[in-house]
Amino acid sequence: MDRFSPVAAAHIRVLVLPIGQIERKAYVTVLRRLQTEASVIRHSALSALVDGDDFALSPKRFEQGCLLFNYTSSAPDEHVLQCSPYELSRETLLVLGIASASPSNAIDEKHLSATAEHLREKHSRAVHRQVLLLHDSDDVENSSRSDIVVRRPLEEGSTSLQDAMNRVTVRFLRELTTYAQAMQASPSIPTPGQASRTLQRMSWLRDADGRPGSGSGFGTPLGSPTGEDVPSRSTSRSRASPTTSFDQIAGANTAPSALARSDSSSKKHNRTASQDRIAINGFGSGMSQEKIKKRGKARVGIVSGTIHMLAGLWSEALTLLVEHTTQVRSLHDPLWHAKGLENIIVCLMLHAWQAVDFQLPAICYPAVERNTSVPGAHRFSLGLPSGSSRSGDTADSASKRRLAGVLPDLVKQVIMLYRSNEGSTELDTLLLHEATVRLTKLLAVMSTNGGQFDQPILAQIVGDFQSNSSKQSSRSSSSNTATSNSATGSKVSVVELLSTALPNNDDGINTSDHLVILAGIASVYSTLGMQRKKAITMKELVIRLTAALNHARKLGAAEMGIHPAASLSAETGIVASPQESRSMHNMVTEIARVYGIDLVDPAYLRQSTEGESTNLPALSNPDFGSSPMKIATLKELLALCEAAPDPHGILRILASFLRLASPSAAVDLTTRTDSIELAPEEQSRLANMMSRTMGVARHLGLQDTQVEYWDPYMLRGLTFAPASMQRTLIDRQNLVRAATGTGSNPLLYDPNSSRQATAQQSTVLVQHETANCLVTLQNTLDVAIEIEWIQLVTDGAMLEVESKSVQLGAACLQHVALQVVPTSVGKAVVTACKIKVLGCREQDFSLVQGPWAPAKILLTKASQTAVGVGGSTGLTTSTVSLEGIASMPIIELKSTSLQEDTLRILEGESQRFEIIVRNTSVVDAAISEAVCTSICLRIVHTDETIGAGSTMILRAELIGEMNVSNLRVDVFYSRASGIDTYARLFSVPIHATVSATLQAQDLEIIPSATGDEAFDVSFTLANNQRSDITYTCAILHDSAWTDEPSSTVSSSQSHRTHLTLPQWNPTHVPDSSPADLLAQLLAHVRVTWILGARRGITSLTPLILPPSSLALLRGDPVMISLTQPAEALTPGTFANFILKLRNRTTAPSTALYIQLHPHMGSADSPVVVGSLTRLVPTLQAGEERVVEFSVCPLLGGELEVRASVRLARPGRLEKAVAGRESWSRAVRVVVR
C-alpha cells in the first residue's frame, strides 16, 4: 500500500519474515500473494471463525468493516517506532513467520516452539506474532500449537492463504483487544515532537545576551500542556525509549525530547495563526492537575478510537474519535486535535468506500465563531455545486457530497493544527510533511474528479494509489478540460498547502525520508496535471538521489576496500533489473522534455547491420529552453545515470564524447606531457562513459561509434603468469638435480652462468590447456578505457584467446590477464596483439617494452639542440617465444569418504578413509610417488595407470595427534605412455580437528624393589573428555605385549599409573641421549583407551624425562642381583647369600670389589659374623659370575643386607675408592 495514501492511518503494518530453510521463491511468492490477495480482510469472512461476541474488537460488532493490512519484509527504524502510539500505522503490530513444512524440509515441534519464542523476544512490541507453515499436500492437520498450516500456498487459485489470514486476523483481533484495554488504562500518552524552533531561538538570544530569563536570575521553563518534562535545548535527537510492553504504557506520560529546528525564512513556511492556537499563559506549572488528567484521558481515547479503526470497527471508532477529539479541542491540545480530525476523515472515507451510511459529525464543520482575521486562514473550496442536496440523491450520496464539501476547509484546519505548537513542543518535521502530502493528495484526487466522490475514486483512494495511476491519469486528462474553469482556484489552494510540505535542509530529515517526501509531492503534482511543478520537484529529487547514491557507493566501496568507481557493477544494477532501467529512462525523458532537451533516441544506438552508418545523430536544438539551464539539467541527469548506473541514459547523454585524441608515445608515466588535447573535464566525461556505460553496451545490443584508437603504442609488455599448483609443470631433470645435489654451481661468480641467464627462455604451454597471459597496456590520459577483447597475433603454433572486457585505468601501466589455449604443438612467436577498444575499431599493436617517442614530439623547445630521451633512436619492437607440448594429464580430487570437510578425531584414535581422484583429461596418467607432510598420515597407493576419465582410490590412515590440523598429500604423476620431460603435482589437503583424550604428564622413574634389571615407571593420565575413559597399559617384554589391568578415569579427573619395566638394553650405552632414552621407554609402554565405541592409543610424547632417571635408564655397567637364602634364618646359624654379576659393557671390566652391608634396626654392634667382602677378577664382555657369602646372624629381627660393587683399585685403600662409581642392591630377610 502507498505510504502517502489518504487512509494510511488505517493500515496495519505486518512484518513477514522467513523462518528456517525456506526457498526464496516460495517466500517471495507468499509475500506477493499476501499483498495482492490478503491486503483487505473483511469482517464478513471472519464471522464464521468467531464463536461469539466475547471480545471488544469482535468482527461481529460491525459486519461491514474490514482490516487493511500493509505487508512488508523490513522492520521500521527506531525513529519511526518513537511515533507510536501517536501513529500506530507506523509500528509493526503483526509479525508473520513463514516456514516450510514440506517433507523435504520437515520442522519439528521443538524447533517451531523455539522459533515462536524467538519472535516473541525479538518483536516484543508487536501485538501478535504468528507462524504460517507452508505444506504442499492436503493431508495435514493443524498442529496442536498456535501455528497455522497453509495447504498448497503456491497453487494458482488456492484460497488457503486467505483462509489462513482469516484465522490469523481473528487471533490478532483478540490480542489487539488486550492491547486496547492496556492502552485505556494509561493515564496519558506523550506527543512525539521536537523542541519548538521559536523557543529555541529565544533561548539562544537570551544566552547570547548573557541575561537571565527571569527576574530571579533563573529561567522558568515553559511547561508542556500535559505536564511532560521540559525538552532538551540540545540539537541532538535524544528521545525517550519506546514502550516495549503493556506495563510500560501506563507510565508513558513523559514527553520525549527532540531535535530543535530553526525556523524557515521562506514565506511559504511561515506558520500562520490558527483558530485552534491557544494562549501561551495556559501552560506551565500553574496548569491544574485535573485539566492534565482530562487531557491525558482524551489522548488515550483518541488512541483507542484509532485502534477500533484499525480493527475495522469504523462506527465505534468514529464515535470515540469524535468524542475525544472534541475534548482535546476544548482542552487546547492542537496536535492531538489534528490527529483526531485526520482519523475522523479516514473513518468517513472508509464508510463512504463501503457504502455505509454515516452522519457527518459537527466537529467537521467549520466554526464560524472562531477568529478568521488571521492571514492565510481564509476558506477555500474545490468548486462544488451550489446546491447542497439533490432531489434524487440517496442518503449515502448526500453524505458523500457533504463530506466532499467540508473536506477542503477541514484538511486545511488539520494541517494548520499539525503546524501548531504544544507548549514548547511541536510535531516532528517528518510527521508534519507526510501528513501534509497525505491530505493534499486527497484534495488533489477530489480536484481531478470535480470535487466529488464516486466509487472508483474511493476505491483508488483506499487501495494502492500507484497501481491505479494509469487509470487516474487517463481520467484526469479527460476531466481536466471539463473542470478546468471550476478547479483552477482549488488547484492553486492545494498547491499552496502542498508547498508547505517541501522539506528544508534545517528540518533534520534523513535522505531516504527526504526522497520519499519529494516523490510524494511529485505524485500530487502529477495528479493535479502540473507537469512543470512536477519537473521542478523531480529535479530536486534527482539532485538529492544522485548525492545519496554516490554517498552509498563510497561507503560500500570503503567497506569493501576498493575504489568507488569499481563498485559500479552494471550487471548487478541494470541488467538484473530491467524494470528499474525503464523507470529511470521514463523519468529522465520526462524531465528533459519539460526543459526542452531533445535526447538522442535509443533506436539510434542499436547495433548497426552491414551497410548502415554507425555515426550518431547530433543533438537537436529545440525552439524553447535556456541553453545554460539545459546544460545544468544534462549534468544532473548524467550524474544520476552514472550513480544508478543507467547505460541507456548515459549513452543518450554522452553520445558525442567518443571523438578524442592524444599524443602517441610509449611513455613511462613518470613525467606528464603537455600535448594532451582533451581538457580535464572532457576526459572526466569520457571516463564516466567508458567505465560505466560501454561495459554493458554489448549486453543491451547497443552499437558504438567505430573510431581509430589514438595510442598506437598501447602494448607495453607481454608475459605468461605461472600456472596454478595443480597445473604447474615440474622438470624431471631439475628434480633429479635437487635430489642428487648436482644442480648448484660451486663458483660464487660465474660470468658464463650470468650470460646464460640473460638469454631469452621459451614459455612452455600445454596443448588444449588454459594459460594466463599478462599483457601490459598503457593509458596516457586521465580517463579510464574499456577494452572489449584482446587477441594474440602469433607466427607458428595457433593460440586461442578467451574474449573478455577489461577496464584500463587512467594514466597507468596496467596488467591485463588473458586466458590463452594452445591448439597445436610446436614453437611459436607472439609478434603483436589485436585489441578492440570500446568505441574503436580493432587494431594490431606491436610490443614496445621501453619508453619511446618519435622525433617530432621530442623537439618541442625553441632550441633545436634540446633532444629528449630516445629521440635519436628508432622504434624497437619485441617478441615472445613459446613452446607447445602435447597434452598432459590432470588429476583432480573427486571425493573422499569423509562425512565432513573437517575430520573430527580424538587424540590417538586411528581413522581410515579413502581419497578418490579422477583423471579429468583425455590422457592416461601414472602416479609415480605419494608423499605425506606428517608421519601421522599414511597413504597407500599402487603404481597402476589411471585412464582418461577414470578414477583411482588412495587409501589413507590418520592417527589423531595434537597440534596437527592441516595435512597434505602430494602426488606426483605424469603421462603413462612414453618418457615425459615434465611431471605434475597434485595435492590433497586434509583438515582435521583433534580433541584431547588422555593427557600423560609428570613422569617419574625409580629403581624397582621387586627385582634386578627393572625399574618402576609412574605417570599421571588426565581425562580431558566429558565422559569416563577406560584405559589399559601394556608393557613390551621379549617381543610380546603384556596388558595390565584396565582402569577408568572419570571426566576432568586424573589417575596415577604405576608400571614395572625390565631393562631392555642388554648392553650399557653410557652416551645415550635423553631423547633416545625417552623414545626407547615409550616404545616399551603402550596406553590404549576406550571411549564408547571409539578407541585409540594415548600419545606419551608429552612426557618429560627427569634428569635423575637418565642413569637408571642407561643401566649399570655391571648388573648385580642379590638373592636371599631359601631357608629361614635363625640366630647363630650360617646362611648363604648369592650375588650374581654380569658385565653389560662391550669391553672387559676391571677387578670388582664386592662388600655386604648388613643392618638391623637401631643396633650399633655387629649383627652378623662372616666374610663380608670379596675381590672379583676381571669380567669379560657379557660374562656372568656368581659369588656366595656365608653369613651368621647374631640377633633376631628384620635384617637388611645391601650388596655394593665398586671398581677395585690395587694399592689403594677402600676409603680412597669409596667415592668412585658403585652399584648396589639390597634385600630384607627376617631372622627368627
CATH of the domain at 83: 3.40.50
The pTM of this model reads 0.52
Query: Of 528, 558, 588, which residue sits at a domain end?
Result: 528
Cell of 562: 576498493
Q: CA–CA separation, 1002 vs 1013, rounded Å?
A: 23
Contact 226, 253 (CB under 8 A): yes
Cis amide linkage into residue 680, ω under 30° from 0: no
Closest by CA to 491, choosing from 538, 460, 543, 527, is 527
- Predicted confidence at residue 589, as pLDDT, reads 73
Cell of 1157: 652391608
Cell of 612: 548502415
Residue type for position 399: S
Q: Is 1151 exposed, middle or buried (0-12, 13-18, 19+ CB in 10 A)?
A: middle
Closest by CA to 1224, choosing from 1166, 1154, 1171, is 1154
Q: Is 1045 exposed, middle or buried (0-12, 13-18, 19+ CB in 10 A)?
A: exposed
pLDDT band at 988 (very low <50, low <70, confident <90, very high): confident
Does residue 1103 have a pLDDT over 50?
yes
- Predicted confidence at residue 690, as pLDDT, reads 61
Does residue 224 have a pLDDT over 50?
no
Residues 32 and 80 in one domain: yes
Q: CA–CA separation, 96 vs 373, rounded Å?
A: 53
- Predicted confidence at residue 572, as pLDDT, reads 44
Contact 239, 216 (CB under 8 A): no
Does residue 465 have a pLDDT over 50?
no
- Predicted confidence at residue 726, as pLDDT, reads 79
Looking at the domain assignment, is residue 812 inside a domain? yes
Residue 266 is given by DSSP the state S
- Predicted confidence at residue 279, as pLDDT, reads 39
Q: What SS3 state is found at 755? A: helix
Residues 859 and 967 in one domain: no
For residues 1162 and 567, which has the higher predicted lDDT (pLDDT)? Answer: 1162
- Predicted confidence at residue 744, as pLDDT, reads 54
Looking at the domain assignment, is residue 48 inside a domain? yes
- Predicted confidence at residue 136, as pLDDT, reads 76
SS3 of 801-856: the string is: ECCCCEEECCCEEEEEEEEEEECCCEEEEEEEEEEEECCECCEEEEECCCCECCHH
Residues 703 and 830 in one domain: yes
Q: How far is CA 1119 from the centre of its chain?
A: 72
Looking at the domain assignment, is residue 312 inside a domain? no
Looking at the domain assignment, is residue 333 inside a domain? no
For 423, phi then psi, to 5°, come to 70, -120
Residue type for position 1147: A
Q: Is 150 exposed, middle or buried (0-12, 13-18, 19+ CB in 10 A)?
A: buried
CATH number at residue 1168: 2.60.40.10
For 626, phi then psi, to 5°, come to -90, 135
Contact 83, 431 (CB under 8 A): yes
- Predicted confidence at residue 510, as pLDDT, reads 83
Residues 786-798: tens digit of each pLDDT: 888 999 998 877 8
Handedness of CA 803, 805, 811, 812 (dihedral sign): negative
- Predicted confidence at residue 243, as pLDDT, reads 39
Residue 1100 is given by DSSP the state -
3-state helix, strand, coil split of the chain in percent (to 5) is 35, 25, 40
Residues 836 and 768 in one domain: yes
For residues 244 and 142, which has the higher predicted lDDT (pLDDT)? Answer: 142
Closest by CA to 327, choosing from 188, 427, 230, is 188
Looking at the domain assignment, is residue 881 inside a domain? yes
CATH number at residue 1087: 2.60.40
Residues 1156-1202: tens digit of each pLDDT: 888 887 666 678 888 888 888 888 887 888 888 888 888 888 888 88
Does residue 148 have a pLDDT over 70?
yes
Helices within 44-149 (DSSP H only): 78-81, 109-122
Closest by CA to 490, choosing from 504, 502, 480, 501, is 480
Helix axes 455-462, 429-448, angle to 10 degrees: 160
Residues 863-880: tens digit of each pLDDT: 444 433 334 456 788 888
For residues 516 and 1228, which has the higher predicted lDDT (pLDDT)? Answer: 516
519 φψ region: left (φ > 0), alpha (ψ -120 to 50), beta (else): alpha
Residues 1024 and 904 in one domain: no
Closest by CA to 581, choosing from 451, 702, 733, is 702
Residues 971 and 1003 in one domain: no
Contact 295, 423 (CB under 8 A): no
Cell of 790: 584482446
Cell of 759: 638469454
How high does pLDDT run on average in the chain? 74
- Predicted confidence at residue 221, as pLDDT, reads 33
Does residue 303 have a pLDDT over 90?
yes
Q: What SS3 state is found at 420? A: coil
Residues 912 and 1017 in one domain: no
Contact 102, 137 (CB under 8 A): no
Contact 173, 311 (CB under 8 A): yes
Closest by CA to 842, choosing from 804, 774, 787, 784, is 787
pLDDT band at 656 (very low <50, low <70, confident <90, very high): very low
For residues 1108 and 370, which has the higher predicted lDDT (pLDDT)? Answer: 1108
Which runs of E-coded beta strand occur in 643-742?
715-720, 730-731
Query: Of 886, 905, 920, which residue sits at a domain end?
Result: 886
Question: How many folded domains does the chain comprise?
Answer: 7
Per the structure, the complete domain to which residue 94 belongs is given by 8-184
Going by C-beta distance under 8 Å and a sequence separation of 6 or more, which residues neighbour residue 750? none
Residues 986 and 1071 in one domain: no
Query: Of 631, 656, 681, which residue sits at a domain end?
Result: 656
**What kind and span of H or E run contains 416?**
helix 395-418
Residues 1090 and 1124 in one domain: no
CA–CA distances in Å: residue 777 to residues 341, 686, 723: 70, 18, 22
Looking at the domain assignment, is residue 484 inside a domain? yes
- Predicted confidence at residue 56, as pLDDT, reads 86
Going by C-beta distance under 8 Å and a sequence separation of 6 or more, which residues neighbour residue 757? none
Q: What SS3 state is found at 1006? A: strand
Q: CA–CA separation, 627 vs 940, rounded Å?
A: 82
CA–CA distances in Å: residue 657 to residues 654, 663, 684, 714: 6, 18, 10, 21
Does residue 254 have a pLDDT over 90?
no
Cell of 37: 490477495
Looking at the domain assignment, is residue 731 inside a domain? no
Percent of the chain with pLDDT over 90: 9
Residues 528-563: tens digit of each pLDDT: 888 888 888 888 888 888 888 888 878 877 887 776
Does residue 512 have a pLDDT over 70?
yes
Going by C-beta distance under 8 Å and a sequence separation of 6 or more, which residues neighbour residue 754? none
Looking at the domain assignment, is residue 159 inside a domain? yes
Residues 637 and 700 in one domain: no
Residues 317-366: tens digit of each pLDDT: 999 999 999 999 998 889 999 999 999 999 999 998 988 888 889 898 87
Q: What SS3 state is found at 102? A: coil
Task: Say which range, 112-116, 590-594, 618-622, has the weakest mean pLDDT.
Answer: 618-622
- Predicted confidence at residue 339, as pLDDT, reads 92
For residues 41 and 1070, which has the higher predicted lDDT (pLDDT)? Answer: 41
Residues 948 and 959 in one domain: yes
Torsion of CA 694, 695, 696, 701, to 10 degrees: 60
Residues 1015-1042: tens digit of each pLDDT: 888 899 898 888 888 989 998 877 788 8
**At CB < 8 A and 24+ separation, what contacts does 49-53 make?**
49/166, 49/167, 49/170, 50/170
- Predicted confidence at residue 350, as pLDDT, reads 92
Residues 494 and 459 in one domain: yes
* Residues making up the chain, counted from first to last: 1232
Contact 225, 423 (CB under 8 A): yes
